[in-house]
Chain A
Amino acid sequence: MLTTGLISWWYIDGYKLFASRIWTKLGDTADFFSIGSLLRTLFAPYRQISANASGNSIDAKFMAFLDRLVSRLVGGVARLGIILFGIIVIILQLILSIASLVIWPLLPVIPIICIILSIMGVTIWIK
């Protein structure tokens, strides 16, 4: 009775709980890198560095335009860097998550496999 309950929990409720935790962690990582927000503002001026440039002369306007351009370029590079890094981290986490989800149902079987491997005398030999 107890064993049946434990096994059924492992493959039904426990698995669901494990999957939901993995999903939450993926969400947290995605939020940390805020890729959606970075993409939306990809070429917005970085930290409003150019925001104070003002004046009515052509020179001032040209300088303000240059400031903004540089600020946008800096912002674009910084955001792209983070987006790329974030995507890599998320992909790696996704791979690990899928692997965990695959391993979970196998965990109760692993001791049996280990006993068989031990009886069979399987070893890993490194030269």
Chain B
Amino acid sequence: MDQINQYNPNSARAKYARLGHTLGSPLLTGLLVIALILALVFGGILVFSCNALGWLAIGIADIILILIIYIKMLFVKVPLGKTDNINDILSSNVLALLGQKPTVKMVASSLMKTRSGNFLALRFGLIPRLLEGVASDLPEDMVPIFETSRKIAKKINASQISGGIIAIAIIENHPNHEEILSRMRLDLGDLYEGITWYNYLHGLVKDSKKKRRDGGIGRDFTFGFTPLLSRFGQNISASRSLTTKTQLFRASNQEAIAQMTEIFSRTGRQNVALIGPDGCGRSTIVNAFSELLLDANSKINRDLKYRQIFKLDAGSIIGGTGGQGDIERLVTGLLNEAYSAKNIIIYLNNAHLFFENGVGSVDISNLLLPVLEAGKLRMILSLDEQRFLEISAKNPALANVLNKIMIAPSNEEETIKIMEDQVPFLEFKHKVTYTYWSLKEAYRLGDRYVKNVAMPGKAIRVLEDAARYARGGLVFGESVSEAIEKSEGVKLQTANDSTEEKNKLLNLEKLIHERMIDQEPAVHAVSDALRRAAVGVRNENKPIGTYLFLGPTGVGKTELAKALAEVYFNGESEIIRIDMNEYVESTDVNRLIAEGSVDAMSLAAQVQKHPFSVVLLDEIEKASPQVLTTLLQMLDEGILRDAKNREISFRDAIVICTSNAGADVIREKIQNGEKYENLKNEIVNQLISNREFKPEFLNRFDEICLFKPLSKDDLGKICDLLIAGVNKTLAPQKIAVSLAEDAKDVLIEAGYDPLLGARPMRRIVSKTVENIVAKASLSGDISSGSNIIISKAEIEEELK
């Protein structure tokens, strides 16, 4: 093993590589070319002027030419050797860096000079400082590095050992590599994927330099002119770049292309309907198919070769004409032109827009159906699967005449590959560099939060959005989270990212108690749920928390929900409150799940707009059983389907249902001194036996919290909170109010009602304290800067 991994600085390849490194600069090559021309011209002039020294100049020109050829064809990119020895399989730019006696540390510090090393440094964080930190100073330690590099190259099917592979080998050979990588949220598999990604992009660049053969100068002589199509359509075949090639990473997409080729090669109906959700890659398939048709080397039927695909959009056709009659005349003209030209395949993008009347769409199925049935003009239709079902129901003849190819969304592995392929274009467009972590986050978060678009479209859309949040030109995982937070209105950055957030979460109970009294079990339960969510240890396929608050009226059930929204969910406006006593009929389910365009205040619509919020379903016991059944999946999986069967995610919401059911029993038992902990099971069993709730409904909640009736002590604290509220209102006028101790006792006595909780106290404070301040203000007894102390007598006077 040691022998084949022994680096020899005097091998021919190593010497060539070092020569290439020294001589391969474009400046030197330019100077050599100038010298070649000068020597040749000078020599020619001398020879033709009877001076034999001119031959020497020509000889020198020849030597320069040979040198240029060596530099360009051998030194700059030294071909691989023929053995398995490390000297034969190291890439030329690595060989050029190694020098006479390389150590791992020396190599680590210079790997950024190789393209693959630089690639891994930028996108995976394998920067020289990190590599140097885990590298040794001993030359003999290069042997195990080479051995690991060899294994990695074999594993990823690489023909040579590049700088990137050596960087990975340096990390892999460190005993604590797992810990080092996990700190960077990576593992070895990610690094292998990274170098495969680099090799793929490198291959693309190499391929782009090759000339594509696409039929040549006489290719289109046999085919007709298409002025109308050129005006109203888009020639996809012409717009495909001659240097790039659409890659199909999905076996299913390759199968789709094979099916399209087969359908268009045989006799029969010459149409293909690509059916799949938006974003699943239907256009990519059409682009790849257009490239296949134009590729002189492709193994397809000669009758298909060099056919060109024209995309027609309903929008441009409607925009370019007047009424229905004009549209039909135009489409007839377009189809006639395509048929006459003999080399056109019509591509109806979002074809459903040609089969229905509406804004931006026009129903010309009566025109298209005979064309599709006759099968003389090749056509590709791309349709959303839901729209296809609607069209099929409306027009079965149309559905029957289509050759359907179903396109499914891509899985994670395929999506990552597709993103890796698209990243260079996005980077060029947005002038940023994407890290590998950002790609993985784009998949994870896109899959969770982006709706109405399928993979890989949604992940690519997220990547594009994330470019706006790049830091120092780099798009990190955090940039993706930020983009999703801004576009979807959710909270993704974990508490680890902010000290302020950490403090808020650690003191959540205290902050909540600044506006509500007692009810410790419920406050603890919701606070714990938020802390779990904030550090990412919760189940992400459920809401943040689901709670049923049971207890008498006026004890703080709704107030806790409001306090939560204010403290953690960016203010009380982020509370979505639904009074379930408005959903007592079974038909009310429709209102609950109505889509936003029909009812903006439906539960589904509000959560779709504000997914990061507190959802408060008040008086849940009054809702009809059908409504409660509809809510089961939401409580269990965080998903509610709206009227159009679209998934509405509740996975970033905290769901609180309140109920007065069992309130009398709770009050009675607590007043009789029964312990809270023993009471819960009893109350739940009673609710089930009384048929107020079904067991499967109650079982869906993370926790059922009982709210205790308020004691007089509690009421005293509530009184303090209410006075604090009054002071907050008066703060702009610089007026402060306080109560004499005996005055507070009078208020508590007057505001205490075990049946109604804190609400009477609120009314009493309004009636007394606020009235006293108002009168004093009007009579001029108080002015800015006053501090009023309200006495018992004043309160009693107001209570009369």
Interface presence of B69 (CB below 8 A): yes
Q: How far does the Cβ of B214 sit from chain A's closest Cβ, in whole Å?
A: 8
Q: Is A117 touching B221 in the complex (CB atoms < 8 A)?
A: no
Q: Is A117 touching B218 in the complex (CB atoms < 8 A)?
A: no
Q: Is A108 touching B55 in the complex (CB atoms < 8 A)?
A: no
Interface presence of B223 (CB below 8 A): yes
Give chain A's interface secondary structure class. Answer: helix
Q: How far does the Cβ of B74 sit from chain A's closest Cβ, in whole Å?
A: 6
Bound Cα distance A113, B66 (Å): 15
Stretch of B57-65, B154-162, B424-432, B788-796 at the chain-chain interface:
B57-65
List residues 29-54 of chain B with CB under 8 A from any CB of chain A.
47-54
Tell me which residues across on chain B come within 8 A of A55, comparing CB atoms. Answer: none
Q: Is A115 touching B52 in the complex (CB atoms < 8 A)?
A: no
Q: Which residue of B lies closest to A120 (CB)?
A: B52
Tell me which residues across on chain A come within 8 A of B342, comparing CB atoms. Answer: 48, 51
Interface presence of A110 (CB below 8 A): yes
Bound Cα distance A28, B213 (Å): 7
Chain A 56-86 per-residue mask, 1 if CB under 8 angstroms from chain B, else 0: 0000000000000000000100110010001
Q: How far does the Cβ of A11 sit from chain B's closest Cβ, in whole Å?
A: 12
List residues 20-47 of chain A with CB under 8 A from any CB of chain B.
27-28, 31-34, 37-38, 41, 44-47
Q: Is B53 touching A118 in the complex (CB atoms < 8 A)?
A: yes
Tell me which residues across on chain B come within 8 A of A112, comparing CB atoms. Answer: 59
Bound Cα distance A9, B211 (Å): 26
Q: How far does the Cβ of B83 sit from chain A's closest Cβ, in whole Å?
A: 15
- Given contacts A2-B12, A82-B218, A117 and B52 within 8 Å (CB-CB): yes
Bound Cα distance A112, B60 (Å): 10
Tell me which residues across on chain A come within 8 A of B215, comparing CB atoms. Answer: 31, 34, 37
Interface presence of A107 (CB below 8 A): yes
Interface presence of A17 (CB below 8 A): yes
Bound Cα distance A17, B69 (Å): 11
Tell me which residues across on chain A come within 8 A of B336, comparing CB atoms. Answer: 52
Q: Is B47 touching A124 in the complex (CB atoms < 8 A)?
A: yes
Q: Is A47 touching B224 in the complex (CB atoms < 8 A)?
A: yes
Tell me which residues across on chain A come within 8 A of B340, comparing CB atoms. Answer: 48, 51-52
Interface presence of B200 (CB below 8 A): no
Q: Is A34 touching B15 in the complex (CB atoms < 8 A)?
A: no
Q: B interface, how many residues as a size bin?
A: 35 or more
Q: Which residue of A lies closest to B220 (CB)?
A: A47
Interface presence of B216 (CB below 8 A): yes
Chain A 91-123 per-residue mask, 1 if CB under 8 angstroms from chain B, else 0: 000000000000000011011111101111111
- Given contacts A14-B69, A28-B211, A34-B216, A110 and B59 within 8 Å (CB-CB): yes
Choose among B10, B55, B213 the residue that contacts A114 (Cβ–Cβ < 8 A).
B55
Tell me which residues across on chain A come within 8 A of B55, comparing CB atoms. Answer: 114-115, 117-118, 122
Chain B 388-403 per-residue mask, 1 if CB under 8 angstroms from chain A, else 0: 0000000000000000
- Given contacts A31-B213, A122-B55, A51 and B224 within 8 Å (CB-CB): yes
- Given contacts A78-B221, A118-B53, A123-B54, A13 and B59 within 8 Å (CB-CB): no
Bound Cα distance A31, B10 (Å): 45
Q: How far does the Cβ of A35 sit from chain B's closest Cβ, in whole Å?
A: 8
Q: Is B62 touching A110 in the complex (CB atoms < 8 A)?
A: yes
Q: Is B50 touching A14 in the complex (CB atoms < 8 A)?
A: no
List residues 217-235 of chain B with CB under 8 A from any CB of chain A.
217-225
- Given contacts A1-B12, A121-B52, A126-B48, A114 and B217 within 8 Å (CB-CB): no
Tell me which residues across on chain B come within 8 A of A46, comparing CB atoms. Answer: 221
Interface presence of B474 (CB below 8 A): no
- Given contacts A13-B79, A114-B62, A47 and B50 within 8 Å (CB-CB): no
Bound Cα distance A118, B15 (Å): 34
Q: Is B219 touching A37 in the complex (CB atoms < 8 A)?
A: yes
Inter-chain contact total with CB atoms closer than 8 Å = 122
Bound Cα distance A112, B342 (Å): 62
Bound Cα distance A86, B211 (Å): 18
Q: Which residue of A lies closest to B19 (CB)?
A: A2
Q: Which residue of A lies closest to B306 (CB)?
A: A37
Q: Is A48 touching B223 in the complex (CB atoms < 8 A)?
A: yes
Q: Which residue of B lies closest to A5 (CB)?
A: B12
Choose among A14, A28, A86 the residue that contacts B74 (Cβ–Cβ < 8 A).
A14
Bound Cα distance A34, B214 (Å): 9
Q: How far does the Cβ of B717 sit from chain A's closest Cβ, in whole Å?
A: 88
Q: Is B221 touching A107 in the complex (CB atoms < 8 A)?
A: no
Bound Cα distance A41, B218 (Å): 10
Q: How far does the Cβ of B144 sit from chain A's closest Cβ, in whole Å?
A: 29
Q: Is B66 touching A115 in the complex (CB atoms < 8 A)?
A: no
Q: Which residue of B lies closest to A32 (CB)?
A: B216
Tell me which residues across on chain A come within 8 A of B62, comparing CB atoms. Answer: 107, 110-111, 114
Bound Cα distance A18, B218 (Å): 29
Q: Is A44 touching B222 in the complex (CB atoms < 8 A)?
A: yes
Q: Which residue of B lies closest to A49 (CB)?
A: B224
Q: How far does the Cβ of B24 sit from chain A's closest Cβ, in whole Å?
A: 16
Q: Which residue of B lies closest to A21 (CB)?
A: B73
Tell me which residues across on chain B come within 8 A of A31, comparing CB atoms. Answer: 213-216, 296
Tell me which residues across on chain B come within 8 A of A113, comparing CB atoms. Answer: 59
Choose among B54, B58, B66, B221 the residue that contacts A41 (Cβ–Cβ < 8 A).
B221
Choose among B51, B70, B221, B296 the residue that contacts A123 (Cβ–Cβ < 8 A).
B51
Q: Is A82 touching B217 in the complex (CB atoms < 8 A)?
A: yes
Interface presence of B56 (CB below 8 A): yes
Interface presence of B535 (CB below 8 A): no
Choose among A49, A111, A126 the residue that contacts B59 (Cβ–Cβ < 8 A).
A111
Q: How far does the Cβ of A125 sit from chain B's closest Cβ, in whole Å?
A: 5
- Given contacts A118-B53, A124-B48, A38 and B218 within 8 Å (CB-CB): yes
Q: How far does the Cβ of A30 sit from chain B's closest Cβ, in whole Å?
A: 8
Q: Is B52 touching A118 in the complex (CB atoms < 8 A)?
A: yes
Residues of A within 8 A of B (CB): 1-2, 5-6, 9-10, 13-14, 17-18, 27-28, 31-34, 37-38, 41, 44-49, 51-52, 75, 78-79, 82, 86, 107-108, 110-115, 117-126
8 closest Cβ pairs, A-B complex: A114-B59, A48-B224, A34-B216, A111-B59, A118-B55, A51-B340, A31-B213, A114-B55
Excluding A9-B74, A124-B47, 4 further A-B contacts by CB distance (< 8 Å) are: A32-B216, A33-B216, A48-B340, A110-B58
Residues of B within 8 A of A (CB): 10, 12, 15-16, 47-56, 58-60, 62-63, 65-66, 69-70, 73-74, 79, 211, 213-225, 296, 336, 340-342
Instruction: Please list 12 pairs of residues, one from A and one from B, whose beta carbons are closer than 8 Å in the complex, sorted by A's number.
Output: A10-B66, A14-B69, A31-B214, A31-B215, A37-B218, A41-B222, A46-B221, A47-B223, A51-B342, A114-B59, A123-B48, A124-B48
